[in-house]
Chains A and B, each alone.
Chain A
Amino acid sequence: MILDVQDLLVRFPGVTAVDGVSLSVAENECFALVGESGCGKTTLARTVLGLQRPDGGTVAIAGTPLAGLRGRALRRLRAQVQIVFQNPYAALNPRMTAGRLVDEPLRLAHPDAGRDDRRRRAEELFDAVGLTGTHRSRYPHELSGGQCQRVAIARALAVGPRLLVLDEPTSALDVSVQAQILNLLDRLRRTRGLSYLLISHDLAVVRHLADRVGVMRAGRLVEQGPSAQLLDAPQHPYTKALLDAMPGRGRAALLADTIEAS
Chain B
Amino acid sequence: MSRPPGMTGVVEAAAPTRARQVVAALTRDRLGLLGLVLIALLVLTALFGPWLAPFPEQGAGLADVARHDLPPGGAHWLGTDPLGRDVLSRIILGARPALVVPILVVALAVLIGVPLGLAAGYRGGRFDEIVMRIADMFLAFPPLLLAMVIVALLGPSLLHAALALAVSWWPWYARLVRGLTAALRDRPFVEGARALGLRPFTVLSRHVLPNAAPPVIVQASVDIGTVILAVGSLAFLGLGPQPPTPDWGLMVAEGRTYVMTEWWLSAFPGLAIFLAVLGFNLLGDALRDVLDPRSVTR
Contacts and interface: CB of A to CB of B under 8 A. Distances in A.
Interface in B177-228: 187-189, 191-199, 206-207, 210-211
Contact of A94 (B15, B197, B199): B15
Contacts of B16: 94-95, 139
- Chain B interface residue bracket vs A: 20 to 34
A79 B194 CA distance: 10
Contact of B15 (A49, A76, A78, A139): A139
A51 B191 contact: yes
Contacts of B187: 90
11 contacts: A49-B191, A75-B197, A83-B192, A90-B13, A94-B13, A95-B16, A104-B196, A108-B196, A139-B15, A155-B196, A156-B192
Interface of A: 46, 49-51, 74-76, 78-79, 81-83, 85-87, 89-96, 104-105, 108, 139-141, 152, 155-156, 159
B14 A95 contact: yes
A79 B196 contact: yes
A78 B187 CA distance: 18
Nearest to B199: A75
B295 to A, nearest CB: 15
A83 B13 contact: no
A152 B14 CA distance: 18
Contacts of A86: 188
Contacts of A139: 15-16
B192 A91 contact: yes
A85 B207 CA distance: 17
Contacts of B196: 78-79, 82, 104-105, 108, 155-156, 159
Contact of B193 (A74, A79, A93, A141): A93
B11 to A, nearest CB: 9
Contacts of B189: 90-94
Contacts of B191: 46, 49, 51, 83
Contacts of A46: 191
Interface string B135-169: 00000000000000000000000000000000000
Contacts of A156: 192, 196
A50 B195 contact: yes
A83 B15 contact: no
Given A139-B15, A139-B16, A95 B195 contact: no
Contacts of A155: 192, 196
A243 B206 CA distance: 42
Interface string B71-115: 000000000000000000000000000000000000000000000
A141 B14 CA distance: 9
A49 B194 CA distance: 9
A81 B196 CA distance: 8
Given A94-B16, A94-B211, A51 B188 contact: no
A83 B195 contact: yes
Given A90-B188, A91-B188, A51 B13 contact: no
Given A89-B13, A94-B211, A95-B211, A79 B197 contact: yes
Given A90-B189, A91-B188, A104-B196, 9 more contacts: A46-B191, A49-B191, A51-B191, A51-B194, A82-B196, A91-B189, A95-B14, A96-B206, A104-B206
Contacts of A83: 191-192, 195
Contacts of B15: 94, 139, 141
Contact of A49 (B14, B195, B199, B211): B195
